[in-house]
């Protein structure tokens, strides 16, 4: 028993020694962390701390900006120094040489309350918009998506609307740091409300479309989103619109590729036959008849106008297909029958 006790005691002593050495190493590393410069001579970094960011969020942003190597050490140091309760929001333009304590002083003073300029191009989805605001450091991506899906906040929204897709008007906006996701969405929707005067300007055309094709205003917005995703060439928009109306009139599937990849899981993918033919894909117009259940992007005014005023050219009245020319112009080749369309595919896509 005496020998066993000595062995146990020796083992425990070894554990204590190892733990002591490990603790000493951590202490040394922590001391070195405090003394290391955050930025070297002539090195610069920009750090954005949005209003309302919690201390863990500050730690995360400081680490992501490449200002500290150890988020854990910075977290501990910040709590011990009181920085965790003293950080003020803003945009911080940091220049080296800069020590940890010097950076903390800057964070305590607060950054510049600069405006952030964000451009949402025509044809972006709510998922791509969410990426933009998150990359800019304005709001969290999921917060933006949560607000973009709250169509029920607006009394004009129909119960069938799954989100505000199509109603977040594309343009360049200026936002103050700290602007909430709700306020951002309200700004974009408010801009759409102003541009929606186009439905009053072309009231006769809107009524003609309702009578001929049975489309209401929301469905015209859906169609405009398809046009927006298919072309960025202004003079083609009314031709694309006419093709869609021609196909609707004949009871044909719209078969527009961008609908195959609408959704959180696929918005950044390239359309493929498997995605387009997936029977569970509720948005794919290769599967669903008529229009998809909602817009697939944010249409600009030009696409809204095209949806209201499809081309009246006699030849366009016969167009049923189009394919990208892939010649750098962004233009399409239009066909009146499937045989001609197949030839166009061979000519432009299989060279």
Question: Do 313 and 244 fall within a single domain?
Answer: yes
Question: Do 94 and 183 fall within a single domain?
Answer: no
Rounded CA-CA distance 137/177 in Å is 8
Q: DSSP string spanning 177-233?
A: TT--HHHHHHHHHHHHHHHTTHHHHTHHHHHHHHHHH---HHHHHHHHHHHHHH---
3-state helix, strand, coil split of the chain in percent (to 5) is 50, 10, 40
In a domain? residue 82: yes
Question: Do 56 and 86 fall within a single domain?
Answer: yes
Question: Do 61 and 90 fall within a single domain?
Answer: yes
Domain that holds residue 302: 215-319
Question: Do 156 and 175 fall within a single domain?
Answer: yes
Question: Do 40 and 72 fall within a single domain?
Answer: yes
Number of domains the chain is built from: 3
pLDDT (tens digit, 0 to 9) for every residue of the chain, 351 residues total? 556 555 555 555 555 544 555 555 567 676 777 888 888 887 888 888 877 789 999 999 999 888 888 889 899 998 998 999 998 887 887 888 888 888 888 888 876 656 678 899 999 999 999 999 998 888 999 999 999 999 999 999 988 899 999 999 999 898 877 789 999 999 999 999 999 999 999 999 999 999 999 999 999 999 999 999 999 999 999 999 999 999 999 999 999 999 999 999 999 999 999 999 999 999 999 999 999 999 999 999 999 999 999 999 999 999 999 999 988 899 999 999 999 999 999 988 876
């Amino acid at each position: 028993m005496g020998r066993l006790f000595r062995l146990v005691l020796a083992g425990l002593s070894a554990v204590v020694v190892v733990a002591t050495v490990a603790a000493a190493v951590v202490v040394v590393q922590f001391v070195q962390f405090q003394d290391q410069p955050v930025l070297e001579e002539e090195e610069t970094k920009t750090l954005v701390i949005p209003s309302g960011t919690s201390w863990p969020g500050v730690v995360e942003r400081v680490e992501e900006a490449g200002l500290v190597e150890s988020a854990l050490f910075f977290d501990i140091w910040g709590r011990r120094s009181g920085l965790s309760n003293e950080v003020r929001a803003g945009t911080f333009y940091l220049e080296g040489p800069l020590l940890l304590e010097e950076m903390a002083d800057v964070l305590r003073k607060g950054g510049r309350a600069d405006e952030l300029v964000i451009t949402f191009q025509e044809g972006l989805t709510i998922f791509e918009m969410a990426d933009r605001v998150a990359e800019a450091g304005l709001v969290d991506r999921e917060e933006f998506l949560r607000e973009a899906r709250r169509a029920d906040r607006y009394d004009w929204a129909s119960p069938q609307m799954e989100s505000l897709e199509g109603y977040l008007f594309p343009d360049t906006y200026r936002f103050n740091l700290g602007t909430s996701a709700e306020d951002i969405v309200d700004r974009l929707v408010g801009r759409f409300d102003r541009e929606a005067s186009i439905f009053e300007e072309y009231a006769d055309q809107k009524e003609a479309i309702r009578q001929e094709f049975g489309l209401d205003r929301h469905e015209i917005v859906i169609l405009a989103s398809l046009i927006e995703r298919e072309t960025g060439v202004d003079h083609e928009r009314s031709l694309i619109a006419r093709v869609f109306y021609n196909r609707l009139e004949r009871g044909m599937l719209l078969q527009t590729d961008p609908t195959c990849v609408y959704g959180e899981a696929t918005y950044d993918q390239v359309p493929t036959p498997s995605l387009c033919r997936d029977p569970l894909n509720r948005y794919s117009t290769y599967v669903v008849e008529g229009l998809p259940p909602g817009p697939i992007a944010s249409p600009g005014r030009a696409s809204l106008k095209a949806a209201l005023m499809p081309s009246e050219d006699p030849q366009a009245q016969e167009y049923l297909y189009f394919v990208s020319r892939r010649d750098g112009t962004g233009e399409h080749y239009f066909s009146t029958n499937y045989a001609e369309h197949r030839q166009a595919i061979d000519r432009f896509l299989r060279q």
